[in-house]
Amino acid sequence: MVKEKTLDDGSLSFDNSSLDFGSSLPVSSASSPKKSRENVKLSFPGDDEDATYEESSTSGLDRYGLTPSGETFALPHEQENRRSILETIDPRVPKTPWDWVVIGSILSQVALYLFTRGNTRRVLLMACFFFWRMSYDIGIGFLLHSQSNDRKVVEWVNKLGFLDKKKNPKLYEMTKHQLVSKMDPSYNFEKSPIEFNSWLVFRHFVDLILMCDFCSYVLMAFAWTCWPNMNFLLHMLRFFGGIALIVFNYWVKLDAHRVVRDYAWYWGDFFFLLRSSLVFNGVFELAPHPMYSIGYAGYYGMSLISGSYGVLLASMIAHAAQFGFLLFVENPHIEKTYGSDSAHSRLTPGDEDVDFELPPARDLVGLINFDSARISDVALIIIAAYSILSTLLSSNSFHNQFWALFQAFLWRFLHSGLHGSILFYQSRDKAWSRHFIRNGESIVQAWSQWKGFYNITLNMSYISFCMAAWKLYHIPNNWTYGLVTLRHTLGFALIALHIYTSVSIYEDLGQYGWFYGDFFLPSRSPKLVYQGIYRYVNNPERFLGCSAYWGLALISNSAWIFLLATLAQLSNLAIIRLVEQPHMRKVYGNALRKEAGISKLIKQATQEHSNRIPKSIETHVKALGSTVDKVLEQTAEALQEFVNAAPPKVQVLLKGTESSLRRSAQLAILKLFAPQFDRLGSTSYSLKLDLEDSKVPLGSPIHVKWTAPLDHENNDWIGLYRVSDNVSDIHTQVSSEGRWSAIDFEGYNSHVSSIKEVSETKDSGEVVFSRDLLFWEPGTYEFRYHHSNKHLVMAKSQPFQIYAITCESKDVSEVENTLDHLLKLCIPEDSSKSLRDLSDSKAKTLSNAIKCVFGIELGHHVIQVDGSTKVLASRLVSAKKILQPFDYSEERKKDV
């Protein structure tokens, strides 16, 4: 599901009369990917560690804050590259009493490490780490939650006398000295609002917790360090991998602080707001909530270096707690302050675009929205139950393992193969939609059936894969041996990553995007929005959407499951490359974003440091990249060429075979009928057509003049055939299917109404082919004169072409007039009768005519049900709008 998004430009605005920031500040939207703004960065605004600001071009060096009471104040100048949290332990910076409190807390933990041994040290330092971690997630979380809802931190700071000289003069002076010593000279303690000064006090407590939290984790990791039983190469990989993660973590923190500065680093918008636009760049284009996601990569680097599963477990618990802090503290404040993004669909047809009403979004996604009265939902439950129970209740024999693997391969083929084929032909000529329209059903019903099919095959591909992995899984006897625990840990982490990716994709795209709505439902003005996970990658499902397969492969440790995972990955890449991307280019054209956040960041970093890279290395890297791209492109083109060229090549082969058969048949028939030809003299027979340029409009009567010898049989007859139907010129091998006419009233009891004229000597005459005697489809045809109720050909007319005058109009009245004309050609004797009264043969004839003139295939029963050309015209106009080709026209380009 190429699935990609952008939002309109926007900036923060402030309502000075409001005390609740949430009611006055709209979302600061991301920039459109096709509009270039050098300092606009894509992100959800308001993530306090993710939010930053853009200096106003009219404000010079001054920045202004806004308090809940509406007071605007000038902020002190921030020194470039200054990080107050590091000044505490910098020996070059003079120390304040609070600095010594922080240093003392750190030294006490170092002393605890130095003066304890063995398990005692491990347990105490683990407890110390979790104490400071809870101080962060629970303590700071409680303070921020109280400040966000009730402004309690400002109230408590004021009540305790930090900022009230009358209540506590000594504490007031200590606070003033501490704040002034840490701030720029432009800072004025007495004139700054209480919200700003309260935030500065809050920052000092945060510094204490952050420093002690970091120190306790490092000491705990050292205390738990061990030497796992593995070979030297794995030890080297472990160390270098851990160091790489720590360095990456350090860069993330530095770059995040460069972007958000102290204001967002210390949750400044819980206290006051900036009168500046939010902007994002650098690490904030790399991952969602980078301070809480990739910003904790160092945890796993230290876990690798320590070689301890205890450190890894503590790291995972602490990281999960940090996400809880984000979920329960920051996100509610973000939504209240900046609003929430309510755009959940990549593309939703507007009311002006369609003539149908979309049903409520209650389709089954996974097992969500299950409806016991919906047959597709019940079918999924029955099939899933059979697959699960047949696996769990059977023995672990080779036969049962093979059956589980076979089911997984089968469902992978059904999901990827059929899913890709349906979307490919739907994108090319809307084959799926045409099938349902032909049967009188709506495009919404067509999409609904697709959704049911897609959800069943998707769920069963997951379930069957899990069952196969379970069947080939063996519970380890020793969890501490080798990489057993690591394999399981990484496997479950990849499964969690897959779940997160799928949930994020669904939240960003909604049901319309999840079920490939832009393959089925039309829109004249498609707009792309890059939000959520699509801010960072264009196709998150390309690799992240298959991570659970690799996770299960790691857990099962089975070569067959690795093969299944590889098949799932390759089929996913093939669908994206051969189906989704061409369709996206066809529909959205130049509106597609060429670079996502991650690729853009890597490219920028490469350009910034290109002068440090040796030219030879840079040349080889570029050559390698171009080679890989070329191979992928050529592979895709070869597959596309095969798909497009296979049918024509088969047709060429069949035509060659047909030509060979024709020559053989001509010789055999000539030997069989040679005596009759010699006796009758075929040159005395002829057929002539009165046509201009050998062409006749679809449904128009065709006059055929014939001549024959005086002694010809009165049961001779003339038939109409496609030129390509008969391999012989002297004998007809195919049936006329009722498209024939007698030449003499005395020869037959039927098919004589088409005789227009017969000469007195009966050696010439004229017949008229019309209505049911005609082919109602364009092509090249010929008439054949046959001898004596047989299929011996005495004469042929010149080939002629039946062509259709197509109707491209979308005006109902014009379409209705065209239908009335076709109806007169089909049944001229009573064209005013209701379509309900048409016989099946007449309705089929009209259906063929509609297909040729309008390019839309309808079942004959649909025509009969509509009852009138007016209703039928409305159906055709709606179908023409729905089935218009996917193309990125200039008109649609302007809309985008």
The CATH number for 854's domain is 1.10.1200
Band of the pLDDT at 60, cuts 50, 70, 90? very low
Q: Which of 159, 265, 161 is nearest to 206 (CA)?
A: 265
Q: Over the stretch 715-724, which tens digit does the pLDDT of each residue have?
A: 999 999 999 8
Could you tell me the pLDDT band of residue 56, with boundaries at 50, 70 and 90? very low
Q: What whole-number distance in Å separates Cα of residue 418 and Cα of residue 62? A: 61
Report the sign of the C-alpha dihedral through residues 855, 861, 863, 865, in that order: negative
Binning pLDDT at 50, 70 and 90, where does residue 470 land? very high
Cβ proximity of 553 and 565 under 8 Å: yes
Return the SS3 of 408.
helix
- Of 796, 789, 754, 798, the closest CA to residue 774 belongs to 754
Q: Is the dihedral of CA 510, 511, 516, 517 positive or negative?
A: negative
pLDDT of residue 690: 83
Q: What is the pLDDT averaged over residues 784-802?
A: 92
Of 351-360, 371-380, 785-794, the range with the lowest mean pLDDT is 351-360
Q: Are residues 688 and 823 in the same domain?
A: no
pLDDT score for 784: 95
Q: What is the mean pLDDT of residues 46-51?
A: 39
Q: Which two tokens stand for residue 805?
A: 């005058």
Domain assignment present for 655? no
Contacts of 190 (CB under 8 A, 6+ apart): none
- List of residues 6+ apart from 403 with CB closer than 8 A: 390, 394
Residues 6+ apart with CB under 8 A from 495: 547, 548, 551, 552
Asked if residue 633 belongs to a domain, the reply is no
Domain boundary among 803, 823, 841: 803
Residue 131 sits in the same domain as residue 166: yes
In a domain, 509, yes or no: yes
Is the confidence at residue 449, as pLDDT, over 80?
A: yes
CB 261 within 8 A of CB 52: yes
- pTM for this prediction: 0.70
pLDDT tier, 11 (very low <50, low <70, confident <90, very high otherwise): very low
Could you write out the three-class secondary structure of 607-630?
HHCHHHCCHHHHHHHHHHHHHHHH
pLDDT at 29 over 70: no
End-of-domain residue from the set 312, 338, 364: 338
Task: Tell which residue, 736, 770, 737, has the closest CA to residue 753.
Answer: 770
Q: Check residue 139 and give its pLDDT.
A: 95
Q: Angle of helix 297-306 relative to helix 194-223, nearest 10 degrees?
A: 20
Return d(Cα 598, Cα 255) in angstroms, integer.
Answer: 14
Residues 788 and 818 in one domain: no
- Tokens describing residue 699: 């449904």
Residue 495 in any domain: the answer is yes
Backbone phi, psi, residue 607, to 5°: -65, -40
Q: How high is the pLDDT of residue 46?
A: 34
Q: Residues near 490 by Cβ (< 8 Å), separated by ≥ 6?
A: 551, 554
Say if 25 falls within a structural domain. Answer: yes
At 85 the pLDDT is 63
* Least confident interval from 186-195, 472-481, 553-562: 472-481
Beta strands in 517-562 (DSSP E): none
pLDDT digits (tens, 9 = 90+) for 607-636: 555 555 555 555 655 555 555 555 556 665
Task: Please say if the pLDDT value at position 55 is more than 50.
Answer: no
Cα separation, 285 vs 601, whole angstroms? 7
Q: Mean pLDDT throughout 242-260?
A: 89
Instruction: In whole angstroms, give the CA distance from residue 708 to residue 706.
Output: 7
Cα distance between residue 638 and residue 632, in whole Å: 10
Q: Which of 17, 56, 8, 70 is nearest to 277 (CA)?
A: 56
The answer to whether the beta carbons of residues 92 and 40 sit under 8 Å apart is: no
Q: Which of 547, 569, 602 is the last residue of a domain?
A: 602
The mean pLDDT of the chain is: 79
Overall domain count for the chain: 4
Question: How many C-beta atoms surround the C-beta of residue 609 within 10 A?
Answer: 9
Domain assignment of residue 499, yes or no: yes
Residue 642: what residue type? F
Same-domain status, 851 and 757: no
Token pair 């105490």 is found at 124
Same domain? For 524 and 579 the reply is yes
- Residues 537-545 have a mean pLDDT of 81
Please enumerate in sequence order all residues whose Cβ is within 8 A of that of 303, keeping only pairs 6 or more positions apart, or say none: 221, 242, 311, 312, 315
Check whether residue 524 and residue 425 sit in a common domain. yes
Q: How far apart are CA 206 and CA 50, in angstroms?
A: 17
Domain identity same for 307 and 209: yes
Structural domain for 561, as ranges = 375-602
Do 837 and 767 lie in a common domain?
A: no
Q: Tell me, yes or no, whether 785 and 826 share the same domain.
A: no
> For strand 779-786 and strand 717-722, is the pairing parallel, antiparallel, or unpaired?
antiparallel
pLDDT greater than 60 at residue 432: yes
- For residues 407 and 531, membership in a common domain is answered with yes
- Locate 882 and state its tokens: 């729905």
Choice between 148 and 228, residue whose per-residue pLDDT is larger: 148
Instruction: Evaluate whether 279 touches 263 at the Cβ level (below 8 Å).
Output: no
Contacts of residue 80, defined as CB under 8 A and 6 or more positions apart, other chains included, come to none
Q: Compute CA distances 220 → 6, 214, 249, whole Å.
A: 44, 10, 18
- Is residue 471 one of the residues assigned to a domain? yes
What would the pLDDT profile of 206-217 be if each residue is shown by its tens digit?
A: 999 999 999 999
- Residue 78's closest CA among 333, 264, 262, 267? 262
> Does residue 7 have a pLDDT over 60?
no
User: Do both 171 and 197 map to the same domain?
Assistant: yes
Distance, CA of 612 to CA of 35 (rounded, Å):
31
Residue 154: band (very low, low, confident or very high) from pLDDT cuts 50, 70, 90: very high
Say if CB 856 and CB 850 are below 8 A apart. Answer: yes
Instruction: Examine the domain organization and report whether 465 and 539 are in the same domain.
Output: yes
| Cα(245)–Cα(302) distance, integer angstroms | 8
| Per-residue model confidence (pLDDT) at position 14 | 32
Indicate if the pLDDT at residue 52 is higher than 60: no
pLDDT for 40: 30
CB of 495 closer than 8 Å to CB of 547: yes
Backbone φ and ψ for 608, nearest 5 degrees, come out as: -65, -35
Q: Which residues contact 531 (CB under 8 A, 6 or more apart)?
A: 5, 6, 7, 30, 44, 341, 343, 508
Helix axes of 547-556 and 559-575: crossing angle, nearest 10 degrees: 170
What are 809-842's pLDDT values in tens digits? 888 888 888 888 888 888 766 555 678 888 888 8
Q: What pLDDT does 284 receive?
A: 80
* 1 belongs to a structural domain: no
**Once rounded to an integer, what is the mean pLDDT over residues 641-647?**
58
